[in-house]
Amino acid sequence: MPQRTKKPGASRIRSAAFQRIRADHSSELAEDYVELIADLIDEKGEARGSDVAMRLGVANATVVKTLKRLQDAGLVTQEPYRSIFLTGEGWKMAEDGRKKHKIVEAFLLALGVSEKTARIDSEGIEHHVSDETLRAMARFLARKVM
């Protein structure tokens, strides 16, 4: 056997973090979409694709394409030229996302960050926070309030 042989042990362990990140990224967009759609429904009574596009800061066509994927994934239902609805699964994801998002944002505020920064940073951080870390953040918040 010429050349060095690889022992995959240590590296396989290390790669776990990056594999988690790639998994997080693949669900991230869906989470933001359903949360945003839920917000729009609660705020205005309906969620239109163009509202989603405006709030995300992307083109209308991008939203149309993404919603098609979310529909295939069973998270939303829609008909052409109509507003968007969440399925049961969609609402569940939206609610879970909201809960997590709120904790992360409140945590950043409690840490002493400005409202604007907390709002912006939490939008990205929320997708990479494990349950364990989320619990630690909630614990910190509870301690702070006492």
Minimum CB distance to a second copy smaller for 45 or for 88: 45
Among 106, 77, 72, CA closest to 91: 77
Taking a C-beta distance cutoff of 8 angstroms, is the pair 100, 131 a contact?
no
Dihedral sign computed on CA atoms, order 89, 90, 92, 97: positive
Q: Which of 83, 91, 119, 141 binds a second copy (CB under 8 A)?
A: 119
CA-based R_g, the chain, Å: 19
Q: Which of 55, 78, 123, 140 binds Mn ion (CB under 5 A)?
A: 123
- Give yes or no for residue 79 binding a second copy (CB under 8 A): no
x/- mask, a second copy, residues 123-142, rule CB under 8 A, reads xxx-xxxx-xx--xx-xx--
Q: How far apart are CA 65 and CA 50, in angstroms?
A: 12
Least distance in Å: CB of 67 to a second copy?
16
Taking a C-beta distance cutoff of 8 angstroms, is the pair 65, 58 a contact?
no
Q: How far apart are CA 24 and CA 13, in angstroms?
A: 18
Q: Which of 17, 142, 145, 146 binds a second copy (CB under 8 A)?
A: 17
Contact positions vs a second copy (CB under 8 A): 6, 8, 11-12, 14-21, 24-25, 32, 50-51, 54-58, 108, 111-114, 117, 119-121, 123-125, 127-130, 132-133, 136-137, 139-140
